[in-house]
Structure 1
Amino acid sequence: MIYPIVAYGDPVLKKVAQDIDPKDASFDLKQLVADMFETMYNAQGVGLAAPQIGKSLRLFVVDAEPMDEENLKGFKKVFVNPEILEETGTPWAYEEGCLSIPTIRGDVERPEKLRIRYYDENWNAYEEEYHGMAARVIQHEYDHIEGILFTEHLPALKRRLLKSKLGNISKGKVRVDYRMRFPNL
C-alpha cells in the first residue's frame, strides 16, 4: 500500500516518535515496512521515516543505492527503535532535500561517522558504524523520528527566506509526482 507523504506543517513531523513494542499486535510491522518501501520508491526517495506517513513510530527505511555512490551499493535497511550512540568526525556539508518538504533543498552539515544500535523488522539486534553518505542518510531519517526537519539545520537567514515557500507547501501549493497529505489544505 502506498501511503500519502505528510507535508511540512503537520504536527506529527515535530513530535519525538514512540518506540515500537515487539509484543504490540495492533499492526503488522513487516507489512508496514513493505508499505514504507513501496511508498518511498513511488516518491523516488532514498529514505522514509514513519512520521512522514503519519505514524509517530521509531522506524525508518533506507535504500540509498539509487544515489549511485560506491559505498551505497546494496545499502537497503530497516531501522526499528534506533539509537545513535555516537557521532564523530569532521562535519561536512551536503545539499539535502526531503519528501515532506518538496522543492526545497539546502546544505546541511553533519558529522561524517556514526555508531547506531537498532533492530530490523525481524527483531534482530545490531550495533553498526556508518560513514560518509550512508551516515548522512541515516542521520536525516533519524532526525525525523526525533521531530527534527533538515530545514532546522539551515542558517537562520535561509530559514527566514524559505518561510513563505514552507507555508505554501503546508497549504498544498506545490507540485509533486506523489500523493501528499497537507495539514493546512
Structure 2
Amino acid sequence: MKRYQFKGFTLIELVIVIAILAIVSVAALPRFLNVQQDAHDNRAQAAFAAFINASQMYHSVWLVENEPSSAAVTGYGDGNIFPSTSGYPRNVNSFNPSKPDCPELWENLLQTDLSVDVHSDPILINNADADVVSWYRANGACYYYYKSNIHDYTTNVWALEYQPLDGTFQVSHDRPLPQ
C-alpha cells in the first residue's frame, strides 16, 4: 500500500501568517480611512490653483493688449471681465472700482463643476449649499472657502484670499476667520 505524504502548511505557519496580516492591516487601515479627506484636500488645492492660473493668464493678456484701463480683456470669459488698475480680474459685466464681483469672477474665470455662492459671514459658511463660498471684505480682497468637507464649525477648511488690486494670492488651511 502506498503512503501519501501531505504537503502543505502547518498550523503554526498559518497562525504566523494571519498574525502578520493582522499587524499590517492595523498599521495600514488609518491611511486608507483618510483617503476621502485627501480627495477633498486635492480638489480644493486644484480648484484654487486653477483660479490663480486663470487670473495670471488674464493679467498676461491684459499686458499684451497694452494695459487697457477700464475695458474688458477680450477673449476671456464672455469678454465681460474688467481689470483692476494693475490688470488683474476684478469685475464682471461692468467696471466698478468700489468692489470686485467675487463669485462672478470665479464663475467666469473657471469652467468647473464646483458651485460658488456668496456669503456674508465666514463663521456660518456651513449653511451654504455651494461647494465654494465667496465674499468681499472691506480690505478689497475676495475670499473663497472650499466647504465640501465641512462637518462642523471647528473643521479646518481650504481658503483662498485674492487681492485684485495687486494680484496677490494666499492659500491657507484654517478655520474660518470672523470678518
TM-score (norm 1): 0.25
Which structure is higher in RCO with an 8 Å CA cutoff and minimum separation 6? 1
Structure with greater strand share of residues: 1
Higher helix share: 2
